[in-house]
Amino acid sequence: MARNTKRKPNYSKRRRSKNKAGNNKTAEEKNDLTLPPVEPAPISIDKGKLREEAIERAKKRPIRERILAFFRRETNKDYKELIINTEALERRVALIENGVLQAFDVERLDEERMVGAIFKGKVQNLEPGLKAAFVNIGQEKNAFLHYWDMLPGANNDPSIEIVRENKRKTPHNRVEAKSIQEIPKVFPVGSEIVVQITKGQIGSKGPRTTTNLSLAGRFLVLMPYAGQCGISRKIDDKAERSRLKRIIGNLSLREGMGVIIRTAGQTKPERFFDRDLHLLLQQWDEIEAKMKSQDSPCFLYQEPDLIGLTARDFLTDDIDRVQIDRKEDYSRLIETIQRISPKSKSKVSHFDEEIPIFERFNVERQIEQTFMRRVLLPSGGEIVMEETEALVSIDVNTGSHKGDRKDGKNFILQANIEAAAEVCRQMRLRNLGGLVIIDFIDMKNKGDQRKVFQKMKSSMADDKAKHNILPISQLGIMQITRQRHDESNSSGIYEPCPYCSGRGIVKSPRAVSIEIQRKITSVVRRFREENLEKEINLKIFLHPSTLRRLRGPDSKLIDRMERNYALKLTFEGAETYHVENFKLIDESTQNEIR
- pLDDT recorded at residue 286: 94
- Compute CA distances 11 → 18, 68, 165, whole Å: 11, 53, 58
The mean pLDDT of the chain is 84
- pLDDT recorded at residue 2: 40
pLDDT digit string, tens, across residues 230-255: 998 888 888 999 999 999 999 989 88
Residue 25 CB neighbours (<10 A):
13
Residue 224 has pLDDT above 60, yes or no: yes
Phi, psi dihedral angles at 197 (to 5 degrees) = -75, 125
pLDDT digit string, tens, across residues 65-111: 666 666 555 555 788 999 999 998 889 999 999 999 998 888 888 77
User: 162 pLDDT band (50/70/90 cuts)?
Assistant: confident
Residue 11 has pLDDT above 50, yes or no: no
- pLDDT recorded at residue 371: 82
Instruction: Name the percent of the chain lying above pLDDT 90.
Output: 40
Lowest mean pLDDT among 63-77, 96-110, 148-162, 373-387: 63-77
User: 22 pLDDT band (50/70/90 cuts)?
Assistant: very low
Of 498 and 352, the structure prediction assigns the larger pLDDT to: 352
CA dist 534 and 331 (Å) reads 83
- pLDDT recorded at residue 66: 65
Could you tell me which residues come within 8 angstroms of residue 406 by beta carbon, excluding any fewer than 6 positions away? none
- Compute CA distances 412 → 4, 190, 401, 478, 572, whole Å: 13, 60, 9, 16, 57
pLDDT digit string, tens, across residues 409-458: 578 899 999 999 999 999 988 888 889 999 999 888 899 999 999 999 99
CA dist 187 and 535 (Å) reads 66
* Long-range Cβ contacts of 128-136 (<8 Å, 24+ apart): 128/184, 131/180, 133/183, 133/187, 133/193, 134/206, 135/193, 135/195, 135/209, 136/296, 136/297
Residue 555 has pLDDT above 70, yes or no: yes
* 439 close to 416: Cβ distance less than 8 angstroms: no
What b-and-e string marks burial along 556-571, b requiring 16 or more CB atoms within 10 Å of the CB? eebeebeeebebebeb
What's the burial of 89, exposed, middle or buried (CB within 10 Å: 0-12/13-18/19+)? exposed
Residue 4 has pLDDT above 50, yes or no: no
Strands (E), 390-527: 391-397, 434-439, 467-469, 477-482
pLDDT digit string, tens, across residues 491-504: 667 777 888 887 78
- pLDDT recorded at residue 29: 56
Highest mean predicted confidence (pLDDT) among 303-317, 383-397, 500-514, 542-556: 542-556
Segment 462-471 shows an average pLDDT of 87
DSSP three-state, residue 287: helix
Residue 12 has pLDDT above 70, yes or no: no
Lowest mean pLDDT among 189-203, 341-355, 411-425, 478-492: 478-492
CA dist 330 and 307 (Å) reads 9
CA dist 522 and 533 (Å) reads 17
